[in-house]
Amino acid sequence: MPWYYAVAERDHDIQDPTSAEKIRHLGRLLRLGPGSRVLDVACGKAGPALVLAEEFGCSILGVERAPEFVAAARERIEDAGLSDRIEIVEGDARAFPLDPESWDAALCLGASFVFDDLEGTLAALAPAVRPGGHVAVGEPYWREWPLPREVEDEGWVPMKETVARIESAGLALVGLVAASDDDWDRYESLHWSALEEWLAENPVDPDAIAIRERHEQARDDYLSFRRRLLGWAIFAGRKS
Ligand SMILES: C[S@@+](CC[C@H](N)C(=O)[O-])C[C@H]1O[C@@H](n2cnc3c(N)ncnc32)[C@H](O)[C@@H]1O
> pLDDT per residue over 20-36, tens digit each?
999 999 999 999 999 99
Q: How far is the CA of 149 from the centre of ligand 1 (A)?
A: 30
Could you tell me if the CB of 140 is within 6 A of ligand 1?
Answer: no
Helices 208-221, 181-201: axis angle to 10 degrees equals 160
117-161 pLDDT, tens digit each: 999 999 999 999 999 999 999 999 999 999 999 999 999 999 999
Nearest CA to ligand 1 atom 1: 110
With a 6 A CB cut-off, is 106 part of the ligand 1 pocket? no
Q: What percent of the chain has pLDDT over 90?
A: 99
- The third-level CATH classification (topology) of the domain covering 4-179+231-239 is Rossmann fold (3.40.50)
Mutate to test the pocket of ligand 1, among 64, 109, 183 (most ligand atoms within 8 A of CB): 64
User: Is the CB of residue 103 less than 8 Å from the CB of residue 37?
Assistant: yes
Domain ranges of the chain: 4-179+231-239, 183-223
**Strand locations in 72-226, DSSP E?**
86-90, 103-109, 129-142, 171-178
Q: Is any atom of ligand 1 closer than 6 Å to the C-beta of 65?
A: yes
Evaluate the CA torsion angle 231, 117, 19, 28 in order and state its sign.
positive
